[in-house]
């Protein structure tokens, strides 16, 4: 199923891409919820985290590594939160797995 993220991956629509490798992309969220709000997506289309299979374990780990690497690059490595929404009732609006990296403001606990 084609999503806005697959169109970004295929360069059919523009995005402010901060990082790209063979497996993933990182870009600024167009509706930021914090001063720094990045989306980290796999290039492989996985609709939700709960749809990931055992063969996706390395890819999921890679996405976490990318989050840490981009946080180090932006000097956020001590001050960020990662969020994954799984399903519409959890707030997922684009059904292509993505991690939200949020930083730049106080983040409350518990969230939501």
Cis bond upstream, residue 31 (ω within 30) = no
101 phi, psi to nearest 5 deg? -105, 115
DSSP 22-61: SSEEEEE-SS-SSSEEEEEEESS--SSGGG--GGGHHHHH
Among 37, 96, 98, 100, the active-site one is 98
Is 96 labeled as catalytic in the residue annotation? no
H or E segment and range at residue 20: strand 17-20
Question: Coil, strand, or helix at residue 59?
Answer: helix
Residues designated as active site:
98
């Amino acid at each position: 199923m084609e999503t806005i993220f697959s169109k970004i991956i295929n360069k059919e629509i523009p995005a402010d891409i901060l990082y790209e490798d063979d497996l993933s992309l990182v870009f600024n969220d167009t509706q930021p919820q914090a001063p720094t709000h990045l989306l980290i997506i796999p290039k492989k289309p996985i609709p939700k985290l709960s749809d990931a299979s055992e063969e996706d374990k390395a890819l999921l780990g890679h996405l976490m590594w990318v989050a840490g690497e981009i946080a180090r690059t932006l000097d956020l490595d001590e001050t960020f939160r990662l969020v994954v929404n799984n399903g519409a009732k959890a707030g997922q609006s684009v059904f292509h797995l993505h991690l939200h990296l949020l930083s730049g403001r106080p983040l409350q606990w518990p969230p939501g």
